[in-house]
Structure 1
Amino acid sequence: MAGRGAPDDNDLAGDGDYLASFGESLTQTLDLERWANGLNLEDIMRVFREQIGGAMRKEDVLRATVRKELLPLLKSRPKAPAGAGVYQATEEELKAVHEGVLFRGNVEAVNGRAVSHDTLALGITQLGIAAVGYGGSSGTFSQRLFRKEVTFQMDDPFKEAREYVQRREVRSRQAPRNKDSLSRLATRGIRTYAERAVLVERLQAEWRMGLGNPLAYELVTGSGYRGLLDASLELLERLVTQTQKFVFVTDKLEHRGFLTLGHSLDTGEYAILETLEAYGNEVLDGWRYDQEGLYKAEAFFKKFCPQVVMGLFRASNNSPPRLFYAHREHVHLAVRIAMADSILRPEQGYPMLLDVAAMTCHSVFGEDGFQGLVQDAYAQVDPSLQYLNVRKLRR
């Protein structure tokens, strides 16, 4: 199997796109004569105010046009799902969700964290998942993966030593393009799977809340691993058919066109946009499955993508819009749960339970504690610390 390039690789197509995006040519940017000497805070703040103010004024004009002209078309756009359009959640409805669902402990949220340590001798990845509700923590779950290349049995030490050198060099040369697929599998694929597995298998609340697209890209492609693909499709089928009462919310700038629509919403409004059928088709077009994997993925997308809808909500005019995903049979209550949890902090407009789960992960499975344990173990095994790399690499 092979996958498409990293998303950032194709953001800028060439010099023309660079000029259109930044308002100057790449040659101009590379000319050090045009760079400022030192750090003049007054000039920097003046430029920031000009650029931010100009961008905001343009967005205000765009928002008014989108609200007046485009939002009414959501109901009639091609392939719009039943119920597409804009809705208003009232203050009374959200209060009822607070009292009858959220604060009764009928919603639990899941979030995960991955931290890694990598040296020539050993790679260690710690995966942590936290589940929380307003009734308290529902539990934390963790796994630690140890990747080592050198085996203890060396029948031909010279041959194997040469192979290890070559293998490591090939991986290093491929890493900028492939982001090291084994590390990506551990830190993204397995973590994303574990979040949904905990949500489906370990939680008892009537409603479940997660982060991102429930049918996550790294799961429905298997990240290039058939074992992950097979396990993911079985798990996601259970999520859609058995759990059903779920809502997933994104925290990234995904689907920027839809988020532009979202900025035209007012406080308490939400929009139902489309099912995940188009998303499924995009995955099939962009990912190269093997024959059996393609057959399974096509069957999964055909059956389950129409059952999950994507939408937008805005908890406050002082916060950005959020993308959400829910089962089509429960979408209106699902988005009200997400909004009710989000208005607890109107300046954020993001479900508090997801942040509480993230903070729990950081507290229990944070990088500082993990790296401290690793360094202590190295010190006990090898006082010289010759294999321990404690410098943080530049990103």
Structure 2
Amino acid sequence: MSGGIPPEVEAELFGDDEYRAAFGEDLSFTLDLDKWSTGLDLDVVMDRFRKEIANAVKKEGRLRAIVRSEIFPRLPGRQQAFPEAGIYEVTPEEVSLIHERLLFRGKVDAVTGSSASHDSLPIGISQIGVAVVGYGGTSGAFSQRLFRKEMSSRSTDPMQEAMDYINMRQNRFRGRKDTMSRLARRGIRTYAERAALLSKSSAEWRMGLGNPCAHELLSGSGYMSLLELSLRVLRRLIHEHKKFVFVSDALQDRGFLTMGFALDAGEYVILETLQSDGEELVEGWQYGDRSKRLAWDFVRQSCPHVVKGLFRVSDHSPPRLFYAHREHFHEAACIAMADSILRPERAFPMLLDVAEMSCRSAFGDDGFLGLVHDAYAQADANLQYFSERGMRR
């Protein structure tokens, strides 16, 4: 034992070796302010930036060659692989047909959601909105506003009632309840995006953001009602509609994204189904008996029908993860790539960007906070319940 740290605690402080391996120096060296630069020496900073980035890029180039020559050819033979696994190419003619017959004829709808929140001592308000858009000129916007209501036990003693509120607010951010409310907001938004694709769109193809079987939905975010409704919507999407494509804009599955940089422009690769991801999630999440059984049934029955892949539309842009039904993965990849090629520098479906802009326009922070400020002013509260940080945003 060193420094008075109990052995059982010291055993958990294992990050120093990993820090050294990641950054090439001891954490104690990093934390020594005498070793930090004084001011901003641009020449020194830029020289180090150039060297570090150049070395990283060269390493990625070597890695790319190995992935193309050694890893891609082995994809169909992987354990638990499926026949569709492998690398494919989308031709310019296919892209042109997707533009003419699907995208620009309004046969593809995309949806994204947004959320804005205000939290103060008296009340918490959350606004969740989704927008459905297509190139056909039609769009829909739907929203829900949640008001957190604090309830204290009814008491004839004003002093006791005041103490109940003080204790409740003091413990709000310490316990499971507030964490679960934040999870609920994310889960509701994610659910609403998928539900809107099914019930508020009539397009032949539906496009969404992220993993269709998102963590928030397969876990229910801790809420049985959300789990049941989420699984019902996802089953309809997977087993009945089938014509969907979801594209991720996050740096998730970085190992797979590393493989994606080995793709040439116009190529995509099918990696695996979502079964293993779903099994890992359900195994690690704390469910009740009934909710765990529902989640397991869904993973085993539905996740094998959804495939995960990567596409790349330009040598100068990053690869993107996408998800599609196993029966329609080639057309789904063509749609995602055809929409992404419209902005090759971003290499992300334009329809999803348009949906996001529409959602922000209808339900953005500025409009939401404007309504909140006005309501406080009408209540003669002005800005006394706004934090300084909140007012600066």
Q: 5 Å matches for 1:1-395?
A: 14-150=15-151, 154-174=155-175, 180-186=179-185, 188-392=186-390
Q: Which amino acid aligns with 2:129?
A: G
Deviates more, 1:151-160 or 1:220-229: 151-160
List per-residue Cα deviations over 1:56-113 (Å, max 9, x = no partner): 1111111111111111111111111221100011111111111111111100000000
Which amino acid counterpart does residue 313 of structure 2 have in structure 1? A
Is the Cα–Cα contact under 8 Å of residues 218 and 230 in structure 2 kept in the other structure? yes
| C-alpha separation in 2, matches of 1:157 and 1:207 | 59
* Equivalent residues of 1:112, 1:191 under 8 A apart: yes
2:154, 2:161 within 8 Å by CA — same for their partners in 1?
no
Question: Is 1:313–1:335's contact at 8 Å kept on the other side of the alignment?
Answer: yes
2:210 partner letter? G
Further displaced range: 318-327 or 153-162: 153-162
Separation (CA, whole Å) in 2 of partners of 1:179 and 1:268: 45
RMSD of the alignment, in Å? 1.9
- Inter-partner Cα distance in structure 2 for 1:55 and 1:296: 45
Check 1:236–1:285 CA distance in 2 against 1; reply closer, same or farther (3 A cut). Answer: same
Structure 1 range deviating more: 42-51 or 121-130: 42-51
- Report the alpha carbon displacement of residue 185 of structure 1 after superposing the two structures with TM: 1.1
Structure 2 counterpart SS, 1:144 = strand
- Matching residue of 1:7: none
Instruction: Report the secondary structure of 1:247's partner residue.
Output: strand
Tell me: CA distance 1:324–1:179, structure 2 relative to 1, closer, same or farther (3 Å): farther
Matched residue, 2:6? none
Query: Which residue of the partner structure matches residue 8 of structure 2?
Result: none
How far does residue 137 in structure 1 lie from its aligned partner after superposition? 3.6
Q: Secondary structure at the match of 2:327?
A: coil
**Secondary structure, aligned partner of 1:171:** coil
Cα distance change, pair 199–155 in 1 and its aligned pair in 2 (3 A): farther
Unaligned runs of 5+ in 1: 1-11
SS at match of 1:60: helix
- CA offsets per residue over residues 124-180 of structure 1, 9 Å max, x none? 1111111110112421111111102146954443333323222222222348xx872
8 Å CA contact retained: 2:111, 2:131: yes
Q: How many Å separate the matches in 1 of 2:382 and 2:106?
A: 51
Residue 325 of structure 1 aligns with an amino acid whose one-letter code is Y
**Aligned positions, number:** 381
Gaps of 5+ in 2: 1-12
Shift in CA distance, 13/335, structure 1 to aligned 2, threshold 3 Å: farther
Q: Is the 8 A contact 1:375 1:388 kept in 2?
A: no
Q: Kindly tell me: are residues 13 and 229 of structure 1, through their superposed partners in 2, closer, same or farther at Cα, counting changes over 3 Å?
A: farther
Q: In structure 2, what is the Cα distance between the partners aligned to 1:206 and 1:369?
A: 33
The one-letter amino acid paired with 1:169 is Q
**Per-residue CA distance 1:2-40 (angstroms, 9 max, x = gap):** xxxxxxxxxx96111111111111111110011112222
Runs of 4+ in 1 over 6 A off after TM superposition: none
Counterpart amino acid of residue 134 in structure 1: Y
Q: Which amino acid counterpart does residue 57 of structure 2 have in structure 1?
A: M
CA distance in 2, matches of 1:306, 1:30: 47
User: Secondary structure, in 3 states, of the residue corresponding to 2:389?
Assistant: coil
Change (3 A) 1:25 1:374: same
Q: Distance in 2 between matches of 1:307 and 1:355?
A: 27
Letter in 1 for 2:259: L
Give the alignment's TM-score, normalised by structure 1: 0.92
Q: Secondary structure at 1:266's aligned position in 2?
A: coil
Secondary structure of the structure 2 residue equivalent to 1:132: strand
Deviations 1:272-299 (A, max 9, x none): 1111110111012110110000111111
What's the secondary structure of 1:173's corresponding residue?
A: coil
Q: Indicate the percent of aligned positions where both proteins have the same amino acid.
A: 56
Instruction: Check the 8 A contact 2:183/2:216 in 1, yes or no.
Output: no
Contact 1:378 1:388 in 2 (8 A): no
Using the alignment, how far apart are the partners of 1:19 and 1:59 within structure 2?
21
Q: Which moved more, 1:309-318 or 1:375-384?
A: 375-384
For 1:108 and 1:380, the matched residues in 2 are separated by: 40
- In structure 1, what is the Cα distance between the partners aligned to 2:392 and 2:305? 43
Shift of 1:44: 2.1
